[in-house]
Amino acid sequence: MNVAAVPAAISGTATVCEAATTTLANATSSGTWSSSNTAIATVPTTSGLVSGVSAGTATISYKITSTGCFAVKEVTVNARPAAISGATNICSGVMETFANTTSGGTWSSSSATIAPIGTTTGTVTAGTAGAATISYTLGNGCRRTLAITVSALPSSITGVSTICAGNSATLTSASAGLTWSSTDVSVATVATATTTTGIVTGIATGTALISYTNAAGCARVQTINVNPSLAANIGDNVVCVGQTVTLSNTTTGGTWVSSTPAKATVGISTGVVTGVAIGTTNVTYALGAGCSSISQVTVNAATAAITGTLSVCVGATTTLSHTTSGGVWATSNAAKATVDSATGVVTGVAPGTATITYSLGTGCYKTATVTIKASPAAISGATTLTVGATTTLSNATTGGSWSSASPSIASIGSASGIVTGSSIGSSIITYRVTTTGCSATQTITVTDSAAAKGTIDDVPIGSGFGVYPNPASDHIIINSLVAGNINLSSIEGKTVWAQQIESGISEITLPVNMASGTYVLRFYGTDNSTHIMKLTVKTN
């Protein structure tokens, strides 16, 4: 009987994980490999590369072909963990937790810079962009792996975080060509403006998240708070160069700014807009919360100054004027002075001042302060007297002087107020206050005295008074020993001419176009003498 040689013992690791391999070997050549249970472990006939199929044990044999002798080794196949669950694409900075239904394992990463992971938690906080493998390993050494990719975020969003409903603002990211979106378009919308900017618009009070997303689905997010809108600014939006208007807003706590100070400036806290040059500017009232209200202010050319006398007495008038037509006049205080809206005629009402404004359709205006001065009291005293008689007028207001419009009819002492009747007729007596120039007037009527009512041609011979030629044509010569007043009237008593003469010879030119006829000439001498005579006038 021949005894065949037994192959050498099988060498190599006798354990393997599911879906993993281990290599067995035998020093005796010319043999073949086989597995007792291919459902547990398989092995090629030509090599000892054992592949774990499922948990359990299988006998691996190495048989010498020529002799039929063999060697065996029992191989244990250990179970591997369940598949890893979790995202395979993660954005830098984002936290992702991986899970496995098989307990008792530990976690690891192929790159601590790309995907650092908690060994017991399975939580990854994505780092730099790149690829990494996540592993979950049991105590028996068996593991599951998951290949993940970490993608870079877009550049950070810069811009406001708070805006006002109805207002818009620009958000910017240095990364170009990406997509903008809003989580709540009822609160805030966003539209792409350029390759790197988005315009966010507040719609209603609330909060919305604005995202800027790249092709990998990674996004930067800006929280936008939308506050209630401001009320519209109040005030005139037209101003003239060199003048001011005041803007206001019912919401307090904001500040004012002009977009073009070269056209108009504005007080940061007052809202007072001052016109600088012709043009337009946007005047904005803004709160720290990002809310604002804008008024477009138009600056028109300045108007010329108001001209005219800027003082008037109570009851009197003064006329103001302006070189630009078509404007309207107004007064700030009608209790002190009124003004005709079309003519600029100012009437004094009571002592004081009033601002008179001339406004054009452009909104430009000029003002002038008019002083209204008190008028003197009414003149008291007799209003009629006879030729040669006197009466005294007075006024309760001191500091004035007297004058007569027709001294040949009624003369008056400038300081005394004593009126002397010089000839038949009437004259306006004026009392003017020196300091104000305001005056009061009174009409004085002078009539014939009883002594003067003599017979016509009552000129005694040798009386020292004579008139010639008589009849006269265009002039007469009067010879009188004393000075006095001449009064020429019609037969009916209507004065047609009056004049003062000195003593001696006076040549007097009769009024032009004097009708032919008979007139009565009266002379009232300074010595209280009176002469009455007919004068016949014959004209060609």
Residue (of 430, 439, 446, 420) closest to 528 by Cα position:
420
User: Which has more confidence, 422 or 142?
Assistant: 142
Using a cut of 0.75, tell me whether the model's pTM lies above it: no
pLDDT above 70: percentage of residues in the chain: 96
The pLDDT score that the predictor gives to residue 2 is: 59
3-state secondary structure at position 428:
strand
Place of tokens 């990463």: 109
Contact 34, 17 (CB under 8 A): no
Omega before residue 407 within 30° of 0, cis? no
pLDDT at 443 > cutoff 50: yes
| Least-confidence region, from 65-79, 257-271, 337-351, 488-502 | 488-502
CA distances from 73 to 20, 61, 363, 464 (A): 18, 7, 110, 185
Tokens of 76: 């244990």
Residue 234, judged by CB atoms within 10 A of its CB (0-12, 13-18, 19+), counts as middle
Phi, psi of 101 (to 5 degrees): -75, -15
Q: Give the separation between CA 21 and CA 52, rounded to whole angstroms.
A: 6
Angle (CA) 165 168 169, round 5°: 125
Mean pLDDT of the chain: 90
Q: What is the mean pLDDT of residues 198-221?
A: 93
311's enclosing H/E stretch is: strand 311-313
The pLDDT score that the predictor gives to residue 380 is: 94
Q: What is the mean pLDDT of residues 25-52?
A: 95
Place of tokens 């694409």: 89
CA distances from 530 to 310, 344, 385 (A): 50, 52, 16
The pLDDT score that the predictor gives to residue 512 is: 83
The model's pLDDT over 162-183, given as tens digits with 9 standing for 90+, comes to 888 888 889 999 988 889 999 9
Looking only at the bridges linking them, the beta strands covering 15-17 and 70-78 are: parallel
Place of tokens 């001065």: 373
Residue (of 442, 522, 453) closest to 490 by Cα position:
522
pLDDT at 150 > cutoff 80: yes
Q: How confident is the model at residue 301 (pLDDT cuts 50, 70, 90)?
A: confident
The pLDDT score that the predictor gives to residue 138 is: 96
Q: Give the separation between CA 251 and CA 160, rounded to whole angstroms.
A: 21
| Least-confidence region, from 187-201, 259-273, 293-307, 491-505 | 491-505
Per-residue b or e along 366-384, where b marks 16 or more CB atoms closer than 10 Å to that residue's CB: bebebbbbebbeebebeee
Residue type for position 377: A
The pLDDT score that the predictor gives to residue 362 is: 81
Phi, psi of 450 (to 5 degrees): -60, -35
The pLDDT score that the predictor gives to residue 492 is: 73
The pLDDT score that the predictor gives to residue 284 is: 93
Residue (of 223, 282, 213, 275) closest to 244 by Cα position:
275
3-state secondary structure at position 285:
strand
Q: Give the separation between CA 38 and CA 393, rounded to whole angstroms.
A: 151
Q: Give the separation between CA 16 and CA 35, rounded to whole angstroms.
A: 14
**Domains (range + CATH), the chain:** 15-78 (2.60.40.1080), 89-151 (2.60.40.1080), 162-227 (2.60.40.3440), 238-300 (2.60.40.1080), 311-373 (2.60.40.1080), 384-447 (2.60.40.1080), 450-537 (2.60.40.3080)
Give the side-chain half-sphere CA count within 13 A for 107: 24
CA distances from 514 to 214, 475, 509 (A): 112, 11, 11
CA distances from 389 to 17, 422, 530 (A): 153, 8, 13
Q: Give the separation between CA 221 and CA 212, rounded to whole angstroms.
A: 6
pLDDT at 324 > cutoff 90: no
The pLDDT score that the predictor gives to residue 454 is: 47
Residue type for position 349: V
The model's pLDDT over 452-509, given as tens digits with 9 standing for 90+, comes to 454 555 555 556 888 988 899 888 999 999 998 888 888 777 788 888 899 999 999 8
Give the side-chain half-sphere CA count within 13 A for 346: 36
Q: Give the residues across from 369 on adjacent strands.
A: 355
Q: Give the separation between CA 330 and CA 425, rounded to whole angstroms.
A: 43
Q: What is the mean pLDDT of residues 509-513?
A: 86
Phi, psi of 192 (to 5 degrees): -70, 125
> For the residues of 135-197, what is the DSSP string, one character each?
EEE-TTS-EEEEEEEEEPPPPPPBS-SEEETT-EEEEE-SS-S-EEEES-TTTEEEEE-SSSE
pLDDT at 515 > cutoff 80: yes
- N-term to C-term CA, the chain: 200
Q: Is 290 left (phi over 0), alpha (psi -120 to 50) or beta?
A: left
Tokens of 473: 């044509």
